[in-house]
Structure 1
Amino acid sequence: PQTRSMLSEVEKLIKLCLALPISVAASERSFSALRRLKTWLRNTMKQERLTHLAIMNADSDLLDECDVSALLEEFISRSTERRSTFGKV
């Protein structure tokens, strides 16, 4: 019961994060947005994750079409510990 409500809050958080733009001006060139992103995240993130965030910024139209519930279900189903914590989605 409590884990299910926590899962819905996690889903809301993921949707919120996907809705936030990485750059402030959509008309800027991608390398400018990447430079700002690198400055902000340089000390807290590895290169691989930074690359993934830049790709998410470039393909934001595709992200808008993502089914977050299906992503959560697949994420939970890949781990026994997650399945025992969150149960069936």
Structure 2
Amino acid sequence: MEDVIPGRVRRTIDDEPQTYLHRFRTDIFYKELLTCIACLDPRDSFQTFDHEKLLRLAELYSDNFSGFDLGQLRIQLDWYISNMKSNEVFSGLRDIGELAKKMVTMKYHITYDLVYRLVELALVLPVATATIERSFSAMKFIKTDLRNKMGDNFLTDALVCYVEKDIFASVENEAILQRFQAM
């Protein structure tokens, strides 16, 4: 069989199960992440609130929460949910964005700083994911068969220019020429 299948194709076939395994693990990670984020939903008097899942969310964002923070978050979550359910101001909220605004208005983002950090992370996730997806979509236009040997730095620079083309379109060509002449 090794005589029939060239080495490059054989390596691709061997790598394929690893690719599917990585995608499967990534899908499981995002499913868990979204399930944990859903526990912050303020609708129906915080009906989906789950103490353990919110602690798990903090563990998933381990760069943002130290071991000490996790212990403090456990305590804050108890007080937070008790306070939210008893406070009439938080009863009519429809989504996490409104929750964040109301927490800032009521100064609860200071009182429950670790819970508010979870809320912020929940709000940033869709934006970060969309930005990454846009970058990968742009890559097919930048890294073509004719330009497949470009280095990482050049690829990164080209992708930034492509993704942020609206900003670059507002820069006058004359300003760019003068900048390069000055160099």
- Give the TM-score category using the shorter length: 0.3 to 0.5
Higher share of residues assigned helix: 2
| Higher-Rg member (1/2) | 2
Higher relative contact order (CA 8 A, sep 6+): 1
TM-score norm. by structure 1 comes to 0.46
